[in-house]
Amino acid sequence: MDLYVFLAVLAAAACHAGWNTLLKLELEPIVATSLVAAASGAIVVPLALVVGVPAAASWPYIIASVIIHIAYYLALAQAYRHGDLGQVYPIARGSAPLMTAILATLWLGETLGPYGWAGVGVLAAGILLLAIRGGRALQRFDARSVGFALLTSVTITAYTLVDGIGARLSGSALQYTVWLFLLSGAAMALYGLVRVGPRLVGDFAANWKLAMAGAALSTAAYAIAIWAMTVAPIALVAALRETSVLFAALFATLLLREPLLAARVVAAVLVLAGVVLVRLR
């Protein structure tokens, strides 16, 4: 993987962990996800007027991705409603790289090579160690948070593959990203109004700085990832994005006062080893 792409995806991982951390700070998760998604759509409106529309061949993928992203936001919100960031985030992200790598190989014929496969495997192992042993000491996982986190992982795999293919067909990763966020933001804003009611408007007025910060981080994170998937193997980009768990673990400890356990340190070492292997691919 080219060094420039490699560093860009790492930056995207930090942004992604940042906006997920914001979901746990002040607002009810379903409100936070609705506001962040809606704000992300609002952010890209000026760009939509300038960049134009992506190629017709990519539109079925954009529509499919909007639907999958709605499922992703809802599953993620429910997972955070019942579980810690340090527990939910690794579970949600941990199995997605392996599923993505397998499906990308079978469906798209991508070849990762021995270092690529080793990197994906070691990354996933480190992430899953966080999920299994990295939660709060002496506290069981809530079955609901685990279930919703696993569902989130399935949606991550689905939208990663759909967006990787769709962006390649679109002719412009920027156009694809702008219209994806515009439509998914509108859909989540509508859902939030139906689910929460007019209170959502008041919540935005009271927390607009938080919502816009989350939107900026979310948009930047996935815009970089979509672009990277047009110039590098989808499976490697997906795996490298999951280094976001390291940033999430750091944010969970520093900002949310969740415990720093030994398992999290070991998992961090495994994730870093996986990053090195992916870079060597």
pLDDT in tens, 187-224: 989 988 888 888 888 888 888 888 888 888 888 888 99
How far is Cα 243 from Cα 246, in angstroms, rounded to an integer?
6
**Tens digit of pLDDT for each residue in 144-180?**
777 888 888 899 899 999 999 999 999 899 999 999 9
Q: Which residues constitute the domain of residue 164?
A: 3-280
Among 62-71, 92-101, 144-153, 211-220, the range of highest mean pLDDT: 62-71
Residue environment code for 74-103, b if the CB has 16+ CB neighbours within 10 A, otherwise e: bbbbbbbbbbbbbbbbbbbbbbbbbbbbeb
What pLDDT score was predicted for residue 108?
78
**69, 184 Cβ separation under 8 angstroms:** yes
What pLDDT score was predicted for residue 280?
62
Q: How many CB atoms lie within 10 A of CB 6?
A: 19
pTM of the model: 0.80
Average pLDDT of every residue of the chain? 80
Q: Number of folded domains in the chain?
A: 1
- Residue in the block written with tokens 């999958």: 68
Mean pLDDT for 29-45 is 87
Higher pLDDT, 280 or 207: 207
